[in-house]
Structure 1
Amino acid sequence: MKAFWNGHTIAESDATRVVEGNHYFPPAAVRREFLKPSATKTTCPWKGEASYFNLEVAGETNPDAAWIYPTPKDAAAQIADHVAFWKGVEVTE
């Protein structure tokens, strides 16, 4: 799987974990130089608290386009520190 935005590959892995239709990329598969911390946080009743990142690629910013569960609840332990994308980020095979 590849995550692609603004002309660049943001993440690439053949070992994503799919939860609720979202591909979660392992930490080592993500180009962290494109992720800038955001103050946004949300809470899922069964996964826990998500932290968001803005994507900054080639002079463009996509606010809150990536998220992680740094310390998920037990039911979502398999996605700890994995990164998922939305807001126009293409995730394809």
Structure 2
Amino acid sequence: DGKVTLVDGSRPNPNGVSLSPAGDVLYVNAGDGLLRAYPIVNGVPGQGKDIVHGLDVPDGMAIDCHGNIYVSEHPAQRVRVFSPQGKELAPSARY
């Protein structure tokens, strides 16, 4: 219907915004160093949960077909990989 809905107005400078492969979770990272997951039910995002803390100015994000989350950290010049639940899966890769 083209309707735009504010999901969470408390996030400073959201940059990485991605959907899970099934489209049932919205992931958002922002300048506060958090990665937050919002469950989506019947097309509506629910209450978000912080699944990763302490990101170093996240600057973009991607999700693979398994739901793993790749977050780039600009100042640290690295990419970190997390499970859909927020567990870090691999050593950071520098760029």
Q: TM-score, normalised by structure 1?
A: 0.27
Larger helix proportion of the pair: 1
Higher Rg of the two aligned structures = 2
Higher strand share: 1
TM-score scaled by structure 2?
0.27
**Relative contact order, CA 8 A, sep 6+: which one is greater?**
1
